[in-house]
Amino acid sequence: MRSRNILWPTDFSETASHALRYAIEMANLYQVGIRILHVVDQPLGDENYMILAITPEGLAKSMEQAAADKMRGLLAELKTDLPIETLIRRGDAIEEIVAEANSGDIGMVVIASHGRTGLAHFLHDNVAEEVANQALCPVLVVK
């Protein structure tokens, strides 16, 4: 842990920004870098229906570009000397975050939890919970 990067998955929400402070604090403590990961959902659709004016692939590329713009804005706001690496992946958030966490060079994951309870907890995937259960490294879940 003490020599490997900290992974901070983000959906660019306020809750995720709160978790970033913890990621920076942990990275400073261990003098390691931060890897920022954003996962873009793969849009589903059938081009044969012609309902969309844009193909699913075009929509995904547009979403990736928007994420890259947000990532650049986020990096411009960060005031740290820590090494920072950014990744934008396409696919299922849980699968991509766990794959990155288990890649071998991640020492800890710092992830935000949206704190859903009741019915909302059952209707939405709990990404933080699944990452904590499947990651091989320590996971800090921030509320």
Return d(Cα 100, Cα 36) in angstroms, integer. Answer: 10
The DSSP secondary structure of 109-132, one letter per residue, reads EEEE-----HHHHHHS--HHHHHH
In degrees, rounded to 5, the angle at the alpha carbon of residue 90 between the alpha carbons of residues 41 and 94 is 70
**Residue 69: inside a domain:** no
| Residue numbers of the domain that contains 134 | 5-41+74-142
Domains: count for the chain? 1
**Residue 88: inside a domain:** yes
pTM over 0.85: no
Give the CATH number of the domain where residue 82 resides.
3.40.50.620
pLDDT digits (tens, 9 = 90+) for 4-45: 999 999 999 999 999 999 999 999 999 999 999 999 987 665
**Residue 63: inside a domain:** no
**Residue 47: inside a domain:** no
**Residue 94: inside a domain:** yes
**Residue 57: inside a domain:** no
Which residues are 97's β-sheet partners? none
Give me the tens of pLDDT residue by residue for the chain, a chain 143 residues long.
Answer: 578 999 999 999 999 999 999 999 999 999 999 999 999 987 665 555 555 566 777 878 888 999 999 989 888 888 788 999 999 999 999 999 999 999 999 999 999 997 554 444 444 568 999 999 999 999 999 98
